[in-house]
Structure 1
């Protein structure tokens, strides 16, 4: 059940990331593919899904789980190579050969039977040369991918900036190391079963522990970057939600200014997927540009036309200036030397400031 929940979370993350991954470079596409394929492989290991497929094609969940697992390992290596600018032609050729070998051995050689659990084919035929050939292909490619991943991650870990990125890389490095140990242990068990003890149990506490540790650490390493993007997405969506009423008011009062186009409602803005950092910055700077024009209605004739650095006072000033403009009050001359005295901010700081002002502005409007 735990892996079922994890698999659904991984698939959901992959689906959410898919539109932006398609528009992005090879690294993001490979990362999204790795997450999705790993989620599918874990899901096929659950009785609820694997059992139904087993009823249609006996033992097919075993093949699909292994094929998705191999593809996920290949996508992970492709992600690594994309980040570090390396070619992956050899790895893709090995992937194609492994997938074709697994499918051919499964349908043409491997002994299969209907009924029972879908993974009985492994437990019942341990020590059989036909099963050994099938599992040798799977664990051979998996081991190769884990060794390559561990080597690259450990080698490049210190070159990754500190923070979530390095934490994720470290998790992937340790996870691939556990994955290497897991495949080595599995291959050892197969060797003992084939040579000395055919009745040896295929699953044991050591292999289960190594597999669980490898999967969880790789998942943690993979999802840290998407989770950071998700947190940024939520932060920008929240800022847009707060800024929208103020931005809508200034766009209405100054249609001749290039402050943006209200093609979507506030709710539709909230439901927009993809990166919102550019949209949030556009709205924030649009509000800031409108404030320079509102100086003509923001003070009494002859008074100093400045805006407070306090967000509450600035929201009150904006509300009063927009009301004067909407009522048709004549604009007053503004001394450029007394224009808005605010320090220049970068996009992130401007978004935070505009969202804070907009929250107080919305309170003023409701009051």
Structure 2
């Protein structure tokens, strides 16, 4: 079940990331490497092998194809990591070695077929010869061992955070591949068939890591969108009230509700969150001309009496002072010399969201307090 899930996730990741990865040289080699590995892992699933057999292909042919694609995948892994060091000579050496390994498997398989009928299980070797399997396992171990070293080292020096995440997940998948092929070689030498279920689980989890290495940019984009959505949603009541009082700071009028603002945004969420943040700060700076002489101190005192402390105390005091200034502006009070509010000039999004969080509970109370201007 884990193997089937791993295969489905791999194919979904490949389809999802096909166009973006093929357009970027830094991710193209990774995508092609995962593609060949995915085809090989797919042909390793017993249900897939049985389907091909029922369709008319021999189990021997399926197994041979899987092994050839596995060696190709290992060679592409080496090419992928060689490209990071930009050595043409090393690249040529890897290509020649890959061609020799794949050609050797075909020759050895042909010799084995001519000498005797191949007797095997669905997940067994295409040819029982020792040399055949030594070449296959050595190709995988070499490719994955180099991938672990180079991917991890390069990820520590790369500046692209998505590429760093992809390389590290790819390295983790290569570690699991080393475990799988080492265990498979041990099983072939000592006939410990009881380890096969554990090895199948290892190679399935390896597939999930390979899929994860492709989906890092997608995960980053989703996290960024979620952050923009959170900012837009939490900021909306504060932004709406302030830009109504200071309409010239905004490019567009607020919609009727923040649900509409999120479900029918007038611009991409990233741009909208950025724009609303800037417009809210502009409105706050403008409203400092309408802050009463003791508005902040009174709001601070009320927040203390309400049992607030720390960052919530500061946010509540700022919200109370801003609400007083907003009401004064709406009432037509003349502006005066700006009275800077603590923390507003630094433009911290964290401070802004703290004020927005407490704004619905504070807005509307300032004007009801006796002695408060506006």
Task: Give the distance between the partners of 2:345 and 2:78, measured in 1 at CA.
Answer: 43
User: Cα distance, 1:121 vs. partner?
Assistant: 5.7
Q: Which residue of 1 aligns with 2:291?
A: 299
Are residues 104 and 345 of structure 1, via their aligned partners in 2, closer, same or farther at CA, if it must alter by over 3 Å?
farther
1:288 aligns with 2:285: no
Of 183, 187, 193, which residue of structure 2 is paired with 1:204? 193
Task: Give the distance between the partners of 1:358 and 1:261, measured in 2 at CA.
Answer: 19
Q: How does 1:28-39 map to 2 (within 5 A)?
A: 28=27, 30-31=29-30
Task: Give the distance between the partners of 2:223 and 2:36, measured in 1 at CA.
Answer: 23
Equivalent pair of 2:148/2:174 in contact (CA under 8 Å): yes
User: Cα distance, 1:234 vs. partner?
Assistant: 3.5
Q: How does 1:89-128 map to 2 (within 5 A)?
A: 89-90=91-92, 93=95, 97=99, 120=121, 123=124, 126-127=127-128
Of 249, 253, 270, which residue of structure 2 is paired with 1:257? 249
| Structure ranking higher in helix proportion | 2
Q: How does 1:43-54 map to 2 (within 5 A)?
A: 43=42, 45-47=44-46, 51-54=50-53
| Greater length-normalized contact order (CA 8 Å, ≥ 6 residues apart) | 2
Equivalent pair of 2:40/2:69 in contact (CA under 8 Å): yes
TM-score normalized by the length of structure 2: 0.58
Task: Give the distance between the partners of 1:65 and 1:355, measured in 2 at CA.
Answer: 54
TM-score normalized by the length of structure 1: 0.58
User: Cα distance, 1:286 vs. partner?
Assistant: 3.2
1:238 aligns with 2:230: yes
Task: Give the distance between the partners of 2:36 and 2:287, measured in 1 at CA.
Answer: 54
Q: Which residue of 1 aligns with 2:334?
A: 332
Residues 304-344 of structure 1, C-alpha deviations (whole Å, 9 max, x = no match): 7899772234345555555665x5x33532424x2233166
Which of 1 and 2 has greater Rg?
2
Task: Give the distance between the partners of 1:320 and 1:103, measured in 2 at CA.
Answer: 81
Of 237, 249, 263, which residue of structure 2 is paired with 1:267? 263
Q: How does 1:70-149 map to 2 (within 5 A)?
A: 73=74, 77=78, 80=81, 84=84, 86=86, 89-90=91-92, 93=95, 97=99, 120=121, 123=124, 126-127=127-128, 139=137, 141-149=139-147
User: Cα distance, 1:240 vs. partner?
Assistant: 3.0
Are residues 323 and 232 of structure 1, via their aligned partners in 2, closer, same or farther at CA, if it must alter by over 3 Å?
same
Q: Which residue of 1 aligns with 2:343?
A: 342
Task: Give the distance between the partners of 1:256 and 1:19, measured in 2 at CA.
Answer: 42
Task: Give the distance between the partners of 1:216 and 1:238, measured in 2 at CA.
Answer: 33
User: Cα distance, 1:238 vs. partner?
Assistant: 2.4
Equivalent pair of 1:146/1:176 in contact (CA under 8 Å): yes
Structure 1 unaligned segments of length 5 or more: list them: 112-118, 193-199
Are residues 75 and 231 of structure 1, via their aligned partners in 2, closer, same or farther at CA, if it must alter by over 3 Å?
farther
Q: Which residue of 2 aligns with 1:150?
A: 148
RMSD, aligned α-carbons: 5.7
User: Cα distance, 1:148 vs. partner?
Assistant: 1.7
1:295 counterpart SS class = helix
Question: How many residues get paired?
Answer: 330
Task: Give the distance between the partners of 1:323 and 1:61, measured in 2 at CA.
Answer: 76
Equivalent pair of 1:13/1:35 in contact (CA under 8 Å): no
Residues 42-83 of structure 1, C-alpha deviations (whole Å, 9 max, x = no match): 45544555544554462586577557756665665566456x
Equivalent pair of 1:175/1:215 in contact (CA under 8 Å): no
User: Cα distance, 1:294 vs. partner?
Assistant: 3.0
Task: Give the distance between the partners of 1:180 and 1:313, measured in 2 at CA.
Answer: 59
Task: Give the distance between the partners of 1:103 and 1:340, measured in 2 at CA.
Answer: 75
Task: Give the distance between the partners of 1:38 and 1:366, measured in 2 at CA.
Answer: 62
